Amino acid sequence: MKGFLERGVPKYSSRGSSATPSPNSTSPSVSSDSAPSESKPYKAASLWSSFFASAFAAFESHSESSPCEKKVIHTRSNGWTSAVKRVVTSGSMRRIQERVMGSSKTGISSTTSDIWLLGECYRISQDESSTGAASYDGIAAFKHDFSSRILMTYRKGFNSIGDTKYTSDAGWGCMLRSSQMLLAQALLLHQVGRSWRKSLEKPLDQEYIKILHLLGDSEVSAFSIHNLLEAGKDYGLAAGSWVGPYATCRSWESLARHRRGQTDSEHQTLPMAVYVVSGDEDGERGGAPVVCIEDASRRCFEFSNGQAAWTPILLLVPLVLGLEKINTRYIPSLRATFTFPQSLGILGGKPGASTYIVGVQDDNAFYLDPHDVQPTINISGDDLEADTSSYHSDLIRHIPLDLIDPSLAIGFYCRDKDDLDDFCHRASKLADESSGAPLFTVTHTHKLSKPVDHIDMSGDTEVQDDDSFGMVTMNDVGGLAHEDDWQLL
């Protein structure tokens, strides 16, 4: 549940820290490449979350006591653990969570403003030339699109994670599940395109079923929480512990690198490069993250094993946009990112409860919620008759943008160089219109960086040092770093 507060700094951090921070640790400064400082105010949520995780661990663990001792312990605690298990693995957990942190609002508001859902616009407004039926069609299309997004929730009953006794992630895995949803959307965009909608008839789409198989809850599935936790050990990921957006993004980068080393470029389970966008000078001075085209190209080149300068690429941008709550200066820019065709949404939500934000209408954010506990289902990659209903929801929840946790991460998927160029144009324009408070900026190359050898592989792939995107140089970013509220986004 406590999914937004950062939990780990990589052991090979540029700051040289090798210790794993405690759940209440804080960082003196905020950047995108050194784990952002934790938000402070959510002690109540933390205490309740700790109770749930500890209670769940109690009945997931097995005592090493002697048979005689086990009998005594079992008699003394059986009633308590049974009660906790019923609460944690049933709808009672959501009711308690909502009692502590506030209930979710559902449905669509009565406003006639347009809805943006992961780059798609649904027009609800009515003018003199439109009819009520047209407005209804917009709402119906939005609902169909929303319910077609892949939902990942807490699961129970899977094989234990690593050397632990955890067979469920209830109470602690919401950030991991939220990130799986974002990855699932990237895979859907890559494999079947943005126009894809879940079919009501069977057999189901082969590529869709393959994606669900990759996200299964076992070590066999490439993008299971089992494998994500293993890949994220250097960033503090561990079963039963909460983790923030930064560490989660870095863990996906690590998992993608690990999987790439196991297979050739033509049979990658994640068919795209991964680029976690960092701040100025690798995050050393804080400030807005910088999308560097040279870095993006380098990651594509590495992903293709030197065969191409550009490949599909997943951009992950972890941000901290305030201390106790989000700085409202950033809300217009956050809202605008959902108009990008490359949008993959946001890992974000209520303080202490990670969700996957997929759309906006006015100042409200629509999201998919991972906090329901469901039995484990591992779908075979060729089972086109599978029951996939637990991977979708038609319950539309929303939250005001100014109430989301300031620690979050934005995702984008670019299919090719042209798509990346379009993203850079949009991102640069958004930064120019941000009144000095950009979420991130764009540059061609790092200051004083060495040339990237593969950039000159062919004339049409060379990165030109021009002003086509209206981009700033890294030197310019350094100057902006002294502006008001720049160090802490």
Query: Token pair 């690590």 is at which residue?
Result: 254
Angstrom distance (rounded) from CA 154 to CA 176 = 10
Please pick, among 33, 217, 280, 369, the residue that the annotation labels catalytic: 369
Angstrom distance (rounded) from CA 460 to CA 253 = 28
Known catalytic residue at 74 = no
Q: Which of 239, 236, 274 is nearest to 409 (CA)?
A: 274
Known catalytic residue at 213 = no
The long-range contacts involving 163-166, CB below 8 angstroms and separated by at least 24 positions, are 164/239, 164/240, 165/57, 165/60, 165/61, 165/62, 166/57, 166/60, 166/239, 166/240
Q: Say if residues 361 and 114 touch (Cβ distance below 8 Å).
A: yes
Please pick, among 169, 280, 295, 371, the residue that the annotation labels catalytic: 371
Q: Which of 63, 1, 6, 81 is nearest to 37 (CA)?
A: 6
* Buried b / exposed e along 32-60 (16+ C-beta atoms within 10 A): bbbbbbbbeebeebbebbbebbebbbebb
Query: Token pair 């293993």 is at which residue?
Result: 230
Helix (H) or strand (E) holding 360: strand 353-361
Torsion, Cα 421 423 426 431, to 10 degrees, reads -100
Known catalytic residue at 371 = yes
Angstrom distance (rounded) from CA 177 to CA 169 = 9
Two tokens, residue 1: 């549940």
Two tokens, residue 216: 């299964």
The 10 Å Cβ neighbour count of residue 297 is: 26
Please pick, among 145, 169, 174, 249, the residue that the annotation labels catalytic: 174
> Strand ranges (DSSP E) for 22-157?
105-106, 115-117, 120-122, 154-156
Q: Say if residues 2 and 45 touch (Cβ distance below 8 Å).
A: yes
HEC string of 437-473 equals CCCCEEECCCCCCCCCHHHHHCHHHCCCCCCCCCCCC
The 10 Å Cβ neighbour count of residue 265 is: 14
From residue 413, alpha-carbon distances to 109, 125, 205, 335, 416 in Å are 29, 29, 21, 17, 9
Phi first, then psi, for residue 317 (nearest 5°) are: -120, 95
DSSP bridge pairs for 420:
none
Instruction: Give the rounded distance of the alpha carbon of 4 from its chain centre.
Output: 11
DSSP notation for 282-323 = HHTS-SS-EEEHHHHHHHHHHHTTTS-S---EEEEEEEE-BS
Which residues are annotated as catalytic?
174, 369, 371
